[in-house]
Every structure is written in C-alpha cells, then in structure tokens.
Structure 1
C-alpha cells in the first residue's frame, strides 16, 4: 500500500456490497486514468465518490456501468462477477447512471421514455398504448415519482426528469444507481426534495453512488465517502468520521492545516494600474447573481469554482457571448453592447473559449485564416483580403506562439491539441487586447503546451494587459495575483498570492463557511 493512501475499513466482510471494484487500472495510451483504484459500496447506503478533475471518477463510473473495460481489476455486483461487456441487458439489470445532462428524449412522453425499447406490443408488433400508460403509472406510483405519463419530457422540470430516469432504471431491475452531479442544475428546494427521495429509496433497498463537487452535500446525504486523487484511491471512511478539512486534504494532497505548497505568481502587477475590466452588479438568471469585481492592467485574476458555479457563464458574458439580465461590463472605459462579440472585440477583449473544437476553431480553414479572424481590417483595404498580408500576420503569430507547422496554409485540423490551442490563443492576441479572457485554457493539452500557454499569459500581463482566467484547474490558477471563488452563482471568497491548494479547494467545494 502506498504511503499516501489512508484506507479506513467501512464494513466487514459479512456485509453485502451492491458493487465492488478492486484493483482497477485503465490507460489511454500513455495516460493513466486509473491506477489500481477501487470502491466498495455497501447495499442500501449512499456512498460519495469525490476528487478533483482528473482524479479518475468518471473513468471508474464508465467501467462499473459497463461502458468501458478495465485493463486490470475485478468488478462484482452483489458478490457476482460483472456481465460480459456485450451483455447490455445484464448491465441494465445491475446498474444505471443518472447523468447531470439528462438522457430522456424531449419529444417523447414520460411513459414512452420509461419503457423505451421495451414497450408492450401485440402479436403484430404494434405498441399497446393503454397497457404502456398503465404500466408507467404503476411504476411511478411504486417509486413515488410525481409525473404525468402523458406529458412530453421537454415540459418536465430538471428535477422531474431526474426522477423519471431513476424510475426507468429501477424498472429494468437495477437497484444500484450512480448519480453524477445530480444537483448541478437544481435550486435549494429541489435539492432538498431530491435528497428526501433518495433517503426514501434507500429504505426500499436502493443503493446510490453519489458524485458531487459540493462537499457539503456529501455531509448532508451520504453514509460513506471515497476519495480519488491522481487516478488512485486515497481514503474510504464513514462521513461522520472524516472532517471537512481532512476530506479536502485527501483531495489535494495537502495536510489539513494547509501547509502544502504556497501558490504565488512570479512577479507582481503594477500597484497603480487602472482597471481594464469593471464588472458591477452583474446578474444572469440562475447562473450568477449580483457579481462585481475589477481586473487591473497587468493583473492576472482567477475566476474559480466548480462546473455549476457560474464562472464560465460569467466569463462568457465579459467576452460578449452572453447578455446579462442586469448589471454592467466596462472594458478599458467602454461599455460594449451586451451579448455582442464584435463589440467586445472592439472594446479590447481577447478571448479563448472553453471548447476549442466547437467555439474556438474553424477546422476546415487554414491556420492563417483561423489566427486572423478577429482582425479583418488588417488584411486588406475595403474589406478585401490580401493573402500576403494574412500570411505575414499569421507567420508572426506562428512564431510568437511557437506553433509547430510547415506554414500558415496548413489546415488547423491537422495540428495536435496543444498546437490547436495555441492557434486559438494567437487569434485572441491578434487584436492586441487590453483584456484577455481565458476559459479552461489548458484543458486537453500536454504538459509542455500547458506550461507554454500559461507562460504566454504571464508575458501578456507583463505588457500591461489584464488577464481573467476562468478555471477549476489549480495549475491554471497558480499564476494568478488574485483568485475570486464562485459557488452557486455568487462570489464567496477572494484569495491573494500566498494561498494553498487546500484553502482554495475548500472554498471551491462549498466548505468556505467553516474556514
């Protein structure tokens, strides 16, 4: 057993386990997604699985739900070996997963979703609709789910869709259900109702594996918690015996006192720099509420939080992708029209979006075209494109960002992930922005590209540009002068240089009240 592992036994061998995963390893090329990790979920309990991004949670879920095969290790349900991967019906009888993004089909009714591909038919193969609706009503009544079997799924609330998915899983025979971030889109009242129903189902013999970025929910709902870190199992313990600070320490690798490595950026921003970004009382539906902050020229500010914190939507609002319901965004003394990307560009915003494949690149276009999309006025007079000007400007950006390519005419789709992200960064810098907004800037790139991209953000800041980094990756946030933490749509904490991973994760995971 490794020195960093602290395993506490939560059940003796006489207990039955809805699922046991032992010594599970999974590799994707050179990437180790799971390293002899595992989990044992006792029958009838709600068991939390927590860890930072990349810890291995999703990989384990894909294996224990039969979507992927482990390279090593054993999976069993109720003491019996897992079915063959091709036996989909066998997996459905044992386990189901309710994901954050609903899998119900919006254009079908509740009844049709409940018995999709399993509809009762007559001898000619036609669906017996009265029987289908009766069986659907009986199923919903049996498990206490309030929904109209005639209603289209698109008209259900998020909460109702989740309950329909749970009922559908139970109808297939599964009594072990994985809940993957089930509260991300629910308000407080809906979360309370969900938790009550989970407890009721526990009493009926249903077992849950609960995955959440909100650690307080682990203490509100779960019996046992398992922590993964760096693809490995770190600790399993009764929730009542593992304090919040110890839980965060297990997730980050720092001790509970927060004595791990300090986060401090090389250099510091000018003390007298004027703000290049001023956000005031910004509100957008239930995504974020009454948010206000500034970013100074030459300052790097992090916007941290879990996926449902509102940080991404807030950064997209600053960049012009979204229009807030209330409040103002001011960039270098100008107020660009809300929800208008060209207006944000004109005000001096450079932007690296969350998803380079769908938001950042035009795959069928060349590197030269992609890097110069934001500066058409520099490519020729009167809106006419001069290929020589384009290629000269693109060549400068290729050298500046060290993009590995034979030339600007190469299709951007032919580049590696790291070089594609450099192209997106090049385009963001092409208009010499006063404010650079980066969302998860190093996601899906190799270590060398990550270091280069973060170093480029520091270089840009030294030139006097303000930088806003919206991310939950600790390496991205390490170079920030300040980090603002969002939780459920609100700014809840601010850290200046010298914070520890433990302190930052504690705030990001919603345990800030006890800090």
Structure 2
C-alpha cells in the first residue's frame, strides 16, 4: 500500500508528561482514515506534529515518501497538509473572498480579480457561498466548507478534519459527508478525528486507535465489530467501581422540562431528587456543558423551564438561581470560578456576604470564621483566609470554587468538570465534597469528561448530538458507557 502520510515512532514529551510514546500512523493515498481515542490519548499532539506546529522529540514524519519540511518553512507545510479545526479560524469581519486569500492578495489588491478567483475556488469544490458575503454571516456548516476550500487552495492534498461535526445537525453532517466523498474521488487524503464512532463507520476506510499516548491498533473499518473498537479505546473492560450508596429522597430539587437551545441541545427533560447524584456524559459536541450551564442559570434556553426547589428563577440570571438554593461549580474556574486577586475568604464567601454583616458591610471576623471552616472541611492548602486565590495551586484553587458553591448549603448543585487539571489527591477531595453534599441531602448534577468522576453517580444521562439517548444506572463499565457516548449503542 502506498502511503501519503506516515508518522513513525513519534515521541513527544512536555516536561514529565509523555504525550506520545513511540506512536504513529500510516495513511494511504486517497483514503479517509479515522484517528480515535479517549481524551488524553495523544490525538491533538499528533495533529500538532503532522501540521508542523510541534517538533517531535524522536521519530519521523513523511509526506509521499519525502521528509517533512522544517518548522520554519510554513509555506511548505501548507502545500502538504491543512487542518480544519472544530473552532473556526476565519475572520468574521472580512468577506469570504478575503478570508480565502488572506495574506496572499499581493502588495496591491485587485479586488475584481480576487473575487473572481474566490468564486472559481468555491465552484471547484462545490461550496454554495457568496464570495462577497461577510464571513460573520455564514452558518457553522458554511464556515467549515469555506475553511476546507481555503485549505485546498494552497495545494495541499492531505486534510485533517478535527471534530468537524461537533456543532452540526444531522442534515448538515450528511452534506459534509457528501462533500468528503467527492473530495476523496478527486484524490484528497483525509484524517478524520471524531468522538462519534458511528461516523467512523460511515465515512472512513481505516481507523487507528491511540490509548495512553500509544498506538494500539490500525484496522479496516469494514467488518470491524463495534465492541472490538471500543475495547481498543478503553482497554480491557473492567468491573465498575462501586461508590457509596446515596440515600435518595422523594423531593425533586432540580428539574428541567422541554429544554431546547439551538445548536446545543433539544427537548431535554430531567429530574434530580434530594440526595441523588446524576451524571451528564457525552462527547465535546454532545450538548452536556450547554445543558449544565442552563441548569445553573449561566445560559438561557430558547424554550423550556428550569425549576429549583419548586421555584422557576429567570433563566440566565445567576443570582436568581443562587437565591433559589442552587450552588454552581462552572467549567472554566479561571474566568468564571474565582477572582484571582481576591483572597480565599473573599472568594469563598462571596454568595453569603449579605449574611456576614449589616447595612452592606461585611464583618471581617465573621468572614474569617466561615472561611476557616471551609478551609478545614475541604482541606485547602493555603497560608490563610487572606491569601489571594491566584497564588494557590490548581487543585486548591478549584477547592475554593467548591467552597463558594457549598458555602450557602445549597439544596441543588451543578458541577462541571470538577477534577480537570488537578492532582489525584485533589480529585479525591473534590469528589468527596460532592458526595458529602449529596449526603446532606443536596441533589447534584455532575458533568465530566472523566469516567472516574462519574462513578460516584447514581445514574448517568448520556447525551449525543444534543439529545439524552440513555439513562445508564449505577454499575456500568467503561466499555458500556463509552459505547453509548460514541453513538454506536443505544
């Protein structure tokens, strides 16, 4: 088999972390080749190496048998490979034509010629977009097709598509696949990265699996049993870890009815009872974060209702949700979770400042006493209540975010990716805080990309393309849950 792209024995380290360990991939000319693996498998690092953004510590990359150019020769890389990322890179304020030939117009721009070249390029790849339209007016699907056309205009015949369907609906995905099949017939080679294994079976000829920074297997897609592919991604199926049983009450403390948000999720219903921990799982484009942010008051749905303790706070109004008895641990702790130059005490007690004094004044003594309790309960490693949160480690900063969520003893809690970027000991403490809250009677929605986080849940709602497709009870294995998350088993 003649290979268009080869990466052999690639090693890449970032400090003590090995991102790729003698991993590689071989992509045949004219094929659409899938690269799959769980988060942290090494996929993104390989993409950065195949596109010339990173130099491997060891190993070799070749295109059509020739060694990859030096990292400094960006034009040579563009002639060999292009990547269409999940997040668009076009500039909204410029027209489609200007985006297609950005930095290639010449010293003096000939606008009529530029627009004509753009129309020819769009026609060549059957992209039905007005070359003179502002790029900011395009839909997600149109922007992706424009990016594909721009990538091909450099002369590259190898394209990496990184989660291209994450923000597309069903008909748009089918149209994208139609374009991909047409490009393949024109001789374009593609590497397709996706968390949706059903798409791999529909559009790809071969698939390579990475796990724990290593190449696990490369197989023909046709005839490959779904279970074998999932097992390659997760390792041998193991018995599920059994977290402590929770005492679940009769009262519903958090409820969603008919929630829909365009481009995020559709017609979602859920109910969380007192003392229950409900997980939300799914890939990056599943809609789980958008749903969690709506449940937390951070985002407003297009339709549907959210009820907290029998009350319906105004959606998108975080103070109203907090007043109704909800605590929130947001996904991005650095921008939404804390104010770095404020102290541990100021951050941790922010929701209850009105209770720490009179006439708009906060009693330093009351705040300090309450903060010391939070520091002790969550084992926050700090010099004291007055230390700025920005000076803490990632794990301890996240504990402060938890402290703020728990300080007013909420009856409902929404927690998003609580253990991202923290060490093992901090993970145990943070998940323990979730279980403690449930033990006190709080109903919890826990959203996480980490399967280990979800093991404390009484059940896990799996989302796929914006819909809840399965309610998985406690006792699942990695293999079982991943199969549903990847869309190959319902």
TM-score, with normalisation over the residues of structure 2?
0.97
Q: Which residue matches 1:150?
A: 132
2:76 pairs with 1:94: no
Q: Which residue matches 2:220?
A: 238
Distance 1:435 1:441 in 2: 16
Deviation per residue, 1:390-421 (Å, 9 max, x gap): 22222221222111111122221111111111
2:421 pairs with 1:444: yes
Distance 1:143 1:284 in 2: 32
Root-mean-square deviation (CA), in Å?
A: 1.4
What is the Cα deviation at residue 511 of structure 1? 1.2
2:481 pairs with 1:504: yes
Larger mean Cα displacement after TM superposition, 441-450 or 139-148:
139-148
What is the Cα deviation at residue 272 of structure 1? 4.2
Does the 8 A contact of 2:297 with 2:316 survive in 1?
A: yes
Q: 1:115 aligns with which of 98, 101, 118?
A: 101
Q: Which residue matches 1:414?
A: 391
Give the match's secondary structure for 2:168.
coil
Does the 8 A contact of 1:264 with 1:481 survive in 2?
A: no
Does the 8 A contact of 1:33 with 1:56 survive in 2?
A: yes
| Change in CA separation of 1:452 and 1:271 when aligned onto 2, cut-off 3 Å | closer
Does the 8 A contact of 1:439 with 1:471 survive in 2?
A: yes
Q: Which residue matches 1:361?
A: 338
Q: 2:17 aligns with which of 22, 31, 35?
A: 31
Q: Which residue matches 1:49?
A: 35
What is the Cα deviation at residue 271 of structure 1? 4.8
5+ residue gaps, structure 2, are none
What is the Cα deviation at residue 38 of structure 1? 0.9
2:437 pairs with 1:460: yes
TM-score, with normalisation over the residues of structure 1?
0.93
Q: Which residue matches 2:315?
A: 338
Does the 8 A contact of 2:169 with 2:465 survive in 1?
A: no
Q: Which residue matches 1:265?
A: 243
What is the Cα deviation at residue 355 of structure 1? 0.7
Distance 1:142 1:294 in 2: 51
Distance 1:452 1:498 in 2: 22
Q: Which residue matches 1:159?
A: 141
Q: Which residue matches 1:274?
A: 251
Distance 1:147 1:497 in 2: 48
1:94-493 matched pairs, under 5 angstroms: 94-119=80-105, 121=106, 125-255=107-237, 260-266=238-244, 268-493=245-470
Larger mean Cα displacement after TM superposition, 206-215 or 380-389:
380-389
Distance 1:128 1:413 in 2: 51
Does the 8 A contact of 1:320 with 1:339 survive in 2?
A: yes
Deviation per residue, 1:60-102 (Å, 9 max, x gap): 1111111112122111111111111111111111111101110
5+ residue gaps, structure 1, are 1-14
Does the 8 A contact of 2:251 with 2:274 survive in 1?
A: yes
What is the Cα deviation at residue 388 of structure 1? 2.7
Aligned residues: 490
Does the 8 A contact of 1:264 with 1:499 survive in 2?
A: no
